[in-house]
Amino acid sequence: MWFRNLLVYRLTQNVPFDVEALEAALAAKPARPCASQELTTYGFVAPFGKGGDAPLVHASGDFLLIAARKEERILPGSVVRDALKEKVDEIEAEQMRKVYKKERDQLKDEIVQAFLPRAFIRKSATFAAIAPKQGLILVDASSPKRAEDLLSTLREAIGSLPVRPLTVKIAPSATLTEWVKTQKAADDFHVLDECELRDTHEDGGVVRCKRQDLTSDEIQLHMTAGKQVTQLSLAWQDKLSFMLDDKLVIKRLRFEDLLQDQAEQDGGDDALGQQDASFTLMMLTFVDFLPALFEALGGEETPQGI
């Protein structure tokens, strides 16, 4: 149960997350299979375990873990376009008339409805950790759209969720650029060997460096020419490494062996115990790591009125 990506959201009001009340609220919006004429469904599932007895909210100390599952029917646009063209050509040939937009749209809808029951189904799960004492919700996703799907469904389930993406006072790209220029990050952070450099002008160039010495003259010349660092690989203490971008999206999170070994030792032989131990250790690490990261990036920004 180690997150691979991280989007951080700040609760702007105190929300009393009672485990039993949250469990009941999520149970009212369960995940379910797509019906024959449905494109997609979305609902909550048990983050650990399977079957009807597994809880939808996993509580460990001060932290809560929830999960949502999306099911969607995959209907390639090219298949629909080919079928529509074939149908339009058939009508125009047989009836000697032109098929216009309104009729095309109707034909397209009919084709989609006919194809849906035979379409493949794709399932995907999104996990989110709630840290009420820290006022944070952490979503294991690199896509804001995917995170918002979970947050909006959670909002519907519990009635209100005053939350916003966490932001910092200084543009992250300015800080990341300074770290690469000086080759000195904030305390406990270390610059690794991967970055993306982007020209700030419209339609400017992009340079992506991987397994590269970021102290090299080549990299420094790009920054002298005005390019900004928009993604940078970093390590924190001896506990984790990650890629940070200029939107504060944390990707490719990797927890070092020391933490994984400790979780394995704490969890014992039971699979659920292993999952609980890794989740707890991950959250305790985040409680130290995230404030340090946001402070290193200039401090968290608090909009007026909050």
**For residue range 158-209, what is the model confidence (pLDDT) as tens digits?**
999 999 999 999 999 999 999 988 888 899 999 998 999 988 776 778 888 8
Judged by DSSP in three states, 286 sits in: helix
Same domain? For 41 and 135 the reply is yes
The pLDDT score that the predictor gives to residue 306 is 47
The pLDDT score that the predictor gives to residue 188 is 93
The pLDDT score that the predictor gives to residue 304 is 58
Of 238, 193, 232, residue with least CA distance to 216: 193
Residues whose CB falls within 8 Å of the CB of residue 159, separated by 6 or more in sequence, listed in order: 25
Residue 253 backbone dihedrals phi, psi, to 5 degrees = -65, 135
Same domain? For 110 and 137 the reply is no
Q: Distance between CA 156 and CA 25 in Å, rounded?
A: 9
Of 167, 168, 169, 183, residue with least CA distance to 223: 183
Same domain? For 156 and 291 the reply is no
Same domain? For 216 and 282 the reply is yes
| Structural domain includes residue 60 | yes
Q: Distance between CA 243 and CA 251 in Å, rounded?
A: 5
Same domain? For 98 and 155 the reply is no
The token pair at 99 is 């098929």
The pLDDT score that the predictor gives to residue 176 is 94
Domain that holds residue 53: 7-73+121-166
Same domain? For 129 and 87 the reply is no
| Structural domain includes residue 306 | no
Residues of the chain with pLDDT under 50: 306
One-letter amino acid at 62 equals D
- When divided into structural domains, the chain yields a total of 3
The pLDDT score that the predictor gives to residue 166 is 95
